[in-house]
């Protein structure tokens, strides 16, 4: 059974705010669109056992780490890399709002604790 207490809720919110992830997968994968609490997300089904070509960029807001993973087969695909780069740029646009939300969350927790 999932933990539904305030601590678990805060952890879920915090974990959702500390990372920006952009994944471009070039393969047929099962995708299910789900809406929970007014938020829409795509759930990716099981990927094939063999590797699939993908571009992945992950920004961790806490430690400033940026991770890029580029499938070797995509290194010379300028159109696909340009698409992924545009998605990364759009994702970076949310960083100020995420940081602001982190600050608000931290202040709210501190107010509750004092």
> Rounded to an integer, what distance in angstroms lies between the CA atom of residue 55 and that of residue 44?
15
More confident residue, 4 or 30: 30
Helix, strand, or coil here: 70? Answer: strand
pLDDT, mean of residues 79-102: 87
The tokens of 33 are what? 């669109």
Distances (CA, A) of 72 to 49, 52, 53, 66, 85: 18, 11, 8, 19, 16
Burial of 18 (0-12, 13-18, 19+ CB in 10 A): middle
Taking residues 43-55, report their average pLDDT.
84
**Separation of alpha carbons 94 and 97, rounded Å:** 5
Q: What is the mean pLDDT of residues 85-108?
A: 84
How large is the greatest C-alpha to C-alpha distance in the chain, in angstroms?
56
Residue 64's pLDDT is 84
Q: What is the pLDDT of residue 68?
A: 94
């Amino acid at each position: 059974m999932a933990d539904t207490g305030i601590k678990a809720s805060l952890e879920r919110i915090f974990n959702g705010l500390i990372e920006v992830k952009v994944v471009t997968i070039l393969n047929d994968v099962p995708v299910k669109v789900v809406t929970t609490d007014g938020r829409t997300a795509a759930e990716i089904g099981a990927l094939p056992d063999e590797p699939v070509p993908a571009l992945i960029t992950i920004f961790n807001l806490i430690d400033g780490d940026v991770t890029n993973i580029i499938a070797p087969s995509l290194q010379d695909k300028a159109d696909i890399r340009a698409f992924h780069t545009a998605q990364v740029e759009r994702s970076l646009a949310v960083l100020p709002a995420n940081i602001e939300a982190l600050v608000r969350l931290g202040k709210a927790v501190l107010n509750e604790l004092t």
